[in-house]
């Protein structure tokens, strides 16, 4: 009887996996490995079966063999990182996941597993960045939205947590864990929501705030006369134009300075081997961009207050 080929044994192993016969599949892959010990595809199939059988140590060994024999196979690095996650070998998981992402930047599962590592290491901001990359690549990754929601819930940023739990439920309706998170957020937001103002009966005089003279209240429906109030209108128009210019400048800083600085810093932190600059330079660029943003924000706030003051003066005149 002719000896079976490696290809035939692997095909039978794949068919066994499809039938849920993982133990039989492992034996077939081991036979194939006996015929060709340096075949990365055989190691990959065997690693997958071992993972399905929860034999994590063997799965890690065979995925690692794939990375040795075929170092450019992104999936092997990412799967090895996932196995290390399951084994709580977090420090070992980070470099192999980064390598997998470097080889294929569009692997959402690579970013997802990196998020898992950072979450378990309590590096919450890095975890959120990684999960966000995962859903950017694959917007239908409900688990990533759920995990982001959990992090924001832990950080007591309940509005953001609520949004991601809702997104997870849109993708996976009636998901019990996401529903529980959503209920927690809604309960907190309900407790912290300010009470509605007391209603005033129809026809009753509206109360005037203490310390505010009745005649100081403004009537927004009154008209102004350009002939007698032209100077005030001109000043208000100029202040409005200036405010619009400042707001555009603020937006430009956000788009051209802050956003690129954040992306560059995130790349430097998550994938230092891919970054064109060192961490110190990235931090300096980020801090400069934030300082410029805050200055522009203060200018915008001042200009808006000036417009409001001029408007109130015009309505009182």
Does any domain span residue 209?
no
The answer to whether position 215 is within a domain reads no
Q: pLDDT by residue for the chain (317 residues), tens digit each? A: 457 899 999 999 999 999 999 999 999 999 999 999 999 999 999 999 999 999 999 999 999 999 999 999 999 999 999 999 999 999 999 999 999 999 999 999 999 999 999 999 999 999 999 999 999 999 999 999 999 999 999 999 988 999 999 999 999 999 999 999 999 988 888 887 665 655 555 555 554 444 444 444 445 555 556 666 667 767 777 778 777 778 777 778 877 787 777 777 667 666 666 556 666 677 677 777 777 787 778 778 877 887 777 777 766 66
Number of structural domains (the chain) is 2
Residue 38's pLDDT is what? 94
What would the two tokens of residue 228 be?
Answer: 């007698």
Q: Is 148 inside a domain boundary?
A: yes
What's the burial of 297, exposed, middle or buried (CB within 10 Å: 0-12/13-18/19+)?
Answer: middle
182 and 237 fall within a common domain:
no
Whether 179 and 232 share a structural domain? no
The pair of three-digit structure tokens given for residue 69, joined into one six-digit string: 């024999």
pLDDT at res. 285: 75
The whole domain housing 134 covers 6-192
Looking at the domain assignment, is residue 198 inside a domain?
A: no
Q: Domain check: are 187 and 239 in the same one?
A: no
What pLDDT does residue 246 have? Answer: 82
Clarify whether residues 160 and 37 are in a common domain.
yes
Q: Is residue 158 part of a domain?
A: yes
Write the DSSP symbol of residue 172.
Answer: S
My answer on whether 58 and 180 are in the same domain is yes
Q: What is the pLDDT of residue 198?
A: 56
- Per-residue pLDDT, 260: 79
∠ CA 240-215-238 to the nearest 5 degrees?
A: 10
Alpha carbon distances (Å) from 37 to 31, 64, 112, 130:
10, 14, 32, 36
């Amino acid at each position: 009887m002719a000896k079976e080929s490696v290809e035939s044994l692997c095909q039978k192993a794949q068919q066994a996996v499809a039938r849920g016969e993982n133990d039989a599949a492992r034996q077939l892959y081991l036979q194939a490995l006996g015929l060709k010990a340096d075949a990365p595809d055989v190691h990959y199939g065997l690693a997958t079966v071992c993972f399905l059988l929860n034999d994590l140590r063997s799965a890690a060994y065979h995925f690692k063999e794939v990375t040795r024999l075929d170092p450019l196979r992104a999936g092997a690095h990412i799967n090895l990182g996932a196995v290390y996650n399951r084994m709580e070998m977090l420090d070992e998981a980070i470099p192999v996941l980064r390598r997998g992402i470097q080889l294929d930047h569009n692997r959402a599962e690579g970013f997802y597993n990196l998020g898992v590592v950072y979450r378990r290491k309590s590096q919450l901001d890095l975890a959120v960045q990684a999960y966000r990359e995962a859903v950017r690549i694959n917007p239908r990754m409900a688990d990533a939205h759920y995990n982001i929601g959990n992090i924001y819930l832990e950080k007591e940023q309940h509005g953001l947590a609520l949004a991601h739990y809702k997104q997870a439920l849109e993708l996976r309706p009636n998901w019990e864990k996401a529903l529980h998170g959503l209920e927690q957020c809604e309960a907190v937001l309900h407790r912290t929501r300010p009470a509605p103002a007391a209603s005033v009966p129809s026809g009753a005089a509206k109360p005037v705030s203490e310390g505010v003279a009745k005649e100081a209240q403004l009537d927004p429906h009154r008209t102004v006369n350009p002939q007698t109030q032209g100077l005030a209108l001109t000043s208000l128009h100029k202040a409005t134009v200036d405010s619009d210019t400042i707001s555009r400048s603020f937006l430009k800083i956000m788009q051209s300075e802050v956003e690129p600085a954040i992306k560059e810093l995130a790349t430097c932190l998550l994938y230092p081997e891919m970054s064109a600059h060192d961490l110190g330079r990235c931090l300096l660029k980020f801090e400069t961009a934030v300082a410029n943003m805050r200055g522009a924000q203060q200018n915008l706030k001042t200009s808006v207050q000036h417009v409001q003051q001029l408007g109130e003066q015009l309505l009182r005149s």
